[in-house]
Structure 1
Amino acid sequence: MENILVAGANGTTGKKIIALLNKSQHFNPIAMVRKEEQQAYFKNQNIQTVLGDLEADVTSVFTNPIDRVIFAAGSGGKNVLGVDQEGAKKLIDAAKKANVKKFVMLSSMGADKPEEATQLQEYLKAKHNADEYLKSSGLNYSIIRPGTLTNESQVEMIELAQNLNKHGEISRADVAQTLVQSLEDKTAPNATFEIIKGATSIQNALNKIS
């Protein structure tokens, strides 16, 4: 079993990621949370937690062995520079020092050209900078850029391309599934791609860029 650190585990998408990992025969989820009171939700399910604040020093979250990382954290617009950008960079640095095998980043559609956005430009610029930092880190990575997130049920069917050149929606459940399936070394190695709801199974879509 490999230990998977999930940054942003307490978020809506983060909890779905943890649930998928918890059912896996290969991965052991470790929920990274910012506050002690957030630990109970996971401890009640016998899921290991670690305290870590992306606005502070995060090296301690790698005290125990971590094999792979999923970054699904976000400030919700409250501190995009400190969390979405610099927090991500700090976790990438710490992951590199800890020799993690792969870093899977939850980004956002539009992060490739934030200057063209009419909304959320500051957020998209922060995500862009974090993505570029990961690309230059030397770590094996997958950067997933979903369209507008919804709370619809999982369908496990997506449309995937490096640039879809169109907007669309996708459920958080399908995003979580895509992130988890991207953890493998040979799945979308060092790849950046966009996803929306579509007609191809997640596995088949990922296989095309592996």
Structure 2
Amino acid sequence: MEKVLIIGANGSTGRLIAKRLVSHPSYSPVAMIRDSSQKDYFENIGVKTVLGDLEKDFSEAFKGIDRVIFAAGSGSKTGKDKTQLVDKIGAIKSVDLAIQQQVKKFVMLSSRGAENAEKADESMQHYLLAKKEADEYLKSSSLPFAIVRPGKLTNGPYTGKIKVSSVFNEKGEISREDVAAVLVHMLDPAIDGRQIFEILGGKVDIPEAIKLYQKSGQPVI
């Protein structure tokens, strides 16, 4: 079984990723946590943990890791300093460590609006600029990757259905459950190694939507 490091594992989406991976036939999840007090939650659901802080040296967390899901985020309401440390610098350091470890794939949870971060509202701009710089750094690396940019996140149920586009010209939302499923799906070695797209809640099953988008490059709605 390949080891998948979940960075940002204790976040709302990160926990859903861990739950999904623990029952996956091909992967063994490793949750990167900042504090040992977070350990019990993951051990209770059968997920191994490793201590690591994006604002410090977390290189030990990458030992023996085959694939990575980066789901950490400071949030759009966090101060600029924290956003830089987590969403930009922490992500970039993660990419560098993944290269050193020769991981097979790096899946990045980004955000809609990152592509055109310079045009965002002032309240969101620092967050989206940090996401964009991290995305660009990953894109320029040698790693096989997927950059997934969801719409507004909700706590709604898992539907297993999405729509996909390079950029949507509409507002939309998607449940964290569905985002977690997409991120795990993008670990699949059968999916070509360099993908970037936006997702919203939709009507097409996740595997089929990704397959159609990958094949045509056209929106799948």
Q: Shared fold by TM > 0.5?
A: yes
**Alignment-mate amino acid for residue 44 of structure 1:** N
Find the aligned partners of 1:159 and 1:188 in 2 and give their Cα distance: 19
Whether the aligned pair in 1 keeps the contact of 2:160 and 2:178 (CA below 8 Å) is: yes
1:128 to 128, 132, 141: 132
- Amino acid in structure 1 at the alignment position of 2:13: T
Q: Which residue of 2 aligns with 1:161?
A: 165
The within-5 A match list for 1:16-31 is 16-31=16-31
Q: What pairs with 1:1-210 in structure 2 (closer than 5 Å)?
A: 1-63=1-63, 65-76=64-75, 77-78=78-79, 79-118=82-121, 119-208=123-212, 209=214
Per mean C-alpha deviation after superposition, the further-off stretch among 123-132 and 157-166 is 157-166
| TM-score (structure 2 length as normaliser) | 0.92
Do the aligned partners of 1:107 and 1:131 also contact (CA within 8 Å) in 2? Answer: yes
SS at match of 2:6: strand
Structure 1 window deviating more from structure 2 (151-160 vs 76-85): it is: 76-85
Give the structure-1-normalised TM-score. Answer: 0.97
Q: What secondary structure sits across from 1:31 in the alignment?
A: strand
Stretches of structure 2 that go unaligned for 5 or more consecutive residues are 216-221
Structure 1 segments unaligned to the other structure (5+ residues): none
Instruction: Please tell me whether the aligned partners of residues 188 and 207 of structure 1 are also in contact (alpha carbons under 8 angstroms).
Output: no
Q: Distance in 2 between matches of 1:177 and 1:187?
A: 15
Aligned partner of residue 9 in structure 2, secondary structure: coil
- Give the SS at the match of 1:109: coil
Superposed displacement of residue 25, structure 1: 0.6
Kindly state the Cα deviation for residue 188 of structure 1 after the two structures are TM-superposed: 4.9
- Once the two structures are superposed, residues 44-78 of structure 1 have per-residue CA deviations (whole angstroms, 9 ceiling, x without a partner) of 22311000100011211123x10100000012324
User: Secondary structure of the equivalent of 2:134?
Assistant: helix
Q: How many residues align?
A: 209
Residue 188 to residue 202, structure 1, CA distance change in 2 (3 Å): farther
Q: Secondary structure at the match of 1:121?
A: helix
SS in 2 for 1:10: coil
After TM superposition, where is structure 1 displaced by more than 6 Å over at least 4 residues in a row?
none
